[in-house]
Copies of this chain bind each other. A is one copy, B any other.
Amino acid sequence: MEIKIALAALGALAQETRLLIFRMLVQAGPEGLSVGRIADKLDTEPNGRLSFHLKELVRAGLVTATQSGRFIFYSANYPVMNDLLAYLTEHCCAGESCGEVVHGCTNLENPS
C-alpha cells in the first residue's frame, strides 16, 4: 500500500461522524446500509453534511456506493481496510519475537 492511500484512509477515519459511519458499515456487512438508514442510526438527517462525509469515505476508498432503486447503499471496503491495518503493522519489531494478533476481516463471499 502506498503512503498516500494510507493517509487518505486515515484522514477519512479521523473524524467522528465518519468513524461512526465506517464502523457501522463494517458491522453491517457487505450488503451495507442506505443513506437514510445511516442517518437514522446517527440520529441525524440525510443532509449535505452527511453526504459530504460519505463522499469523503468513498474518496478514501474505504467505502463503496451502489445505487439500488431510489436508495443508495454504502458498504465497507474490507480489502482496503485490511491493507491499511497491514500497512500500520508492517515489519513490526523487525521480525523479532513479537506475538501476532488477529484483527481484520476478509469477508470473502466467493473465496477463490
Contacts and interface: CB of A to CB of B under 8 A. Distances in A.
Interface of A: 3, 6-7, 10-11, 13-16, 19-20, 22-23, 26-30, 81-82, 85-94, 96, 98-108, 111
Given A3-B16, A14-B10, A19-B10, A93 B107 contact: yes
A91 B76 CA distance: 13
B105 A99 contact: yes
Contacts of A108: 99
The majority secondary structure among interface residues of chain A is helix
Contact of A89 (B85, B86, B96): B85
A67 to B, nearest CB: 22
A59 to B, nearest CB: 14
Nearest to A93: B29
A90 B24 CA distance: 10
